[in-house]
Structure 1
Amino acid sequence: MREAGFEELLAIAVMSPNELAEQAELGEAVSSKIIQGAKKMANIGGFVSGNKLLERRKEVQKLTSGSAALDELLGGGFETQAIVEVYGEFGSGKTQIGHQLAVNTILPSEQGGFDGEIFYIDTEDTSGPKE
């Protein structure tokens, strides 16, 4: 594959069998098997059965925001296994929500937390000692 110009596994994993066959001068059946192997190694792609998705959904937990009104709007709190975007004007409380969720995550389960660990990255350097 390197001789054909492929250096990254992900580049192969996202190709169609036809594209790979043309670029690497392979048959489509061989290309398809290579792509399947690349997807498996890169842990991407593929379909998930409805039963497997249902099992995953059963593992979803809800983390309270600390606000009953917000939790109600969210259907019980922030879901695990999800990405949530919070947006609003400067000073509207976005950072405060992030900080509160971080605290709630590390709380013991008896107090509504997950006994978890957090890693907080501030990409705008706005969470200084003043906050």
Structure 2
Amino acid sequence: MEISILPISSIHKDQLIRAGYTSLESLVVVSPYRLAQELNILQEEALHIVKEALKYSGAGGVQTGRSFFKGCQSAWEMLEEEKILNYISTGCEDFDDILGGGISCKEVTEVGGVPGIGKTQLGIQLAINVQVPLAYGGLGGKAVYIDTEGSFMPERAYQVAEACIMDTLDKFAFHKDFEICKEVMQPKFFLSNIIYFRICSYTEQISVINNLHKFLEERKDVKVVIIDSITFHFRRDFKDMLRRTRVLADMSQN
């Protein structure tokens, strides 16, 4: 949950974001004394902020019994989940084999490398490949593409969609549902299922990531979220490395 919901002054909210506290979860674990030092405010003010964070996050009460252990599961359940885990193909069989089947769903995959190595190309490819119908071995889902650098090109996405469609139809030309799936296998249909966010600042990025779960609750058919890239605005706008690390860690947890 975002700190924007807290009934505190806008000045304190801005100080919290600049100090790296972008979510209630990051606030409830810090001491008022430390918070007062980091924000350069009175300890009474810091105590008020922490109390409000505890209240709104629901961490102020005592959890007992089953509610506390709601997220637990057995090792057998974990193994069964791994067996039915879905993968998004990268479009390259050798690359999929290296990754153990492709890009794994329900996990975070970080792709790094120097400029021009193909990170954006891979992101666009995954946003297209995740839409391949179930009958053709895909996931039949939609994609969320969060673009912080302005590097997403719809023209390139159209080309990738055309190539993906051609390759898929050639491979499954004799499938019993070929004619039905052929109707939806159109570039326009693929591009319509890429939900695009253009991010222009680190505060905007924090807000989108913190509220993404609400957005996805209404769109159960989204099967992949691509952020290209997660560190762009933080390389330019953050001088304090400790604060930057904290903000990125919170974002990774979300």
TM score, norm. by length of structure 2: 0.36
Q: Which has the higher strand share?
A: 2
Q: CA deviation at 1:106?
A: 1.0
In 1, distance between residues paired with 2:77 and 2:57?
24
What amino acid is the match of 2:115?
F
How big is each residue's C-alpha offset from its partner over 1:9-42, in whole Å with a ceiling of 9 and x where there is no partner?
44727xxxxxxxxxxxxxxxxxxxx3426xx59x
TM score, norm. by length of structure 1: 0.64
The aligned residue for residue 127 of structure 1 is 152
The aligned residue for residue 93 of structure 2 is 68
Compare relative contact order (CA 8 Å, sep 6+) and give the higher one, 1 or 2.
2
Inter-CA distance 35–58: structure 2 relative to 1 (3 Å threshold): farther
Inter-CA distance 119–46: structure 2 relative to 1 (3 Å threshold): closer
8 A contact 1:63–1:112 mirrored in 2: no
The aligned residue for residue 110 of structure 1 is 135
How big is each residue's C-alpha offset from its partner over 1:78-118, in whole Å with a ceiling of 9 and x where there is no partner?
11111100111111110111111110111112233211011
Inter-CA distance 114–130: structure 2 relative to 1 (3 Å threshold): closer
RMSD over aligned Cα, in angstroms?
A: 2.9
In 2, distance between residues paired with 1:72 and 1:58?
16
- Aligned partner of 2:83 among 35, 55, 58: 58
- Aligned partner of 1:36 among 63, 71, 75: 63
- Where does the alignment leave 5 or more consecutive residues of structure 2 unmatched? 1-46, 157-254
Does 1:12 find its partner at 2:66?
no
Q: Which has the higher helix share?
A: 2
How big is each residue's C-alpha offset from its partner over 1:62-82, in whole Å with a ceiling of 9 and x where there is no partner?
221101111111111111111
What amino acid is the match of 2:76?
N
More off after superposition, 109-118 vs 83-92: 109-118
8 A contact 1:63–1:79 mirrored in 2: yes
Aligned length: 104
Q: What percent of counterpart residues are identical?
A: 35
